Amino acid sequence: MAAGVLHDREAAYSQTGPSEFGIAAVASKRARPRHVFEGDLDPYAVLGVDSDLPYDDVRRVYRRLVAENHPDRLIARGVPQEFIKIASERLAAINSAFDQIELRHRGVPTA
């Protein structure tokens, strides 16, 4: 994703590479949706939390992720523009995921 696009070889390596570095398959599977936005994703996976985590804890994780990825904060730190773009896309995915979880929490059916 360094070029902003996930190439086939990168995708293939993301399936096998993490074990070479001692990263558990579960952790690797959970990390991918936080960095690669591919169609309809499990909103819990985007936030990197289990679906049985209490709503208040999910909200806490969401707020931390927003703070970490907010473009304004990154701009203030002097982060390069290409990282700001990635952070903006990531923030949009994080917000969308939390919106879906919030609707479920309120009992509103989601598509």
pLDDT tens digits for range 56-107: 999 999 999 999 999 999 999 999 999 999 999 999 999 999 999 999 999 9
**Residue 75 domain-assigned?**
yes
pTM above 0.75, yes or no: no
pLDDT one-digit tens code per residue, 17-63: 666 666 666 555 555 555 555 556 799 999 999 999 999 999 999 99
| Distance from C-alpha of 51 to C-alpha of 42, rounded to nearest angstrom | 9
Neighbours of 60 (CB within 10 A): 13
Q: Could you tell me which residues come within 8 angstroms of residue 103 by beta carbon, excluding any fewer than 6 positions away?
A: 109, 110
* Domain span holding position 94: 8-105
pLDDT bracket for residue 8 (50, 70, 90): low
**110 is a domain residue:** no
What is d(CA 2, CA 31) in angstroms, rounded to the nearest whole number?
A: 16
Tell me if 60 is assigned to some domain. Answer: yes
Q: Is residue 1 part of a domain?
A: no
Determine the pLDDT at residue 77. 93
51 inside domain: yes
pLDDT, residue 110, reads 66
For helices 8-20 and 25-35, angle between their N-to-C axes, nearest 10 degrees: 140
Domain count, the chain: 1
Structure tokens at 83: 């990282």
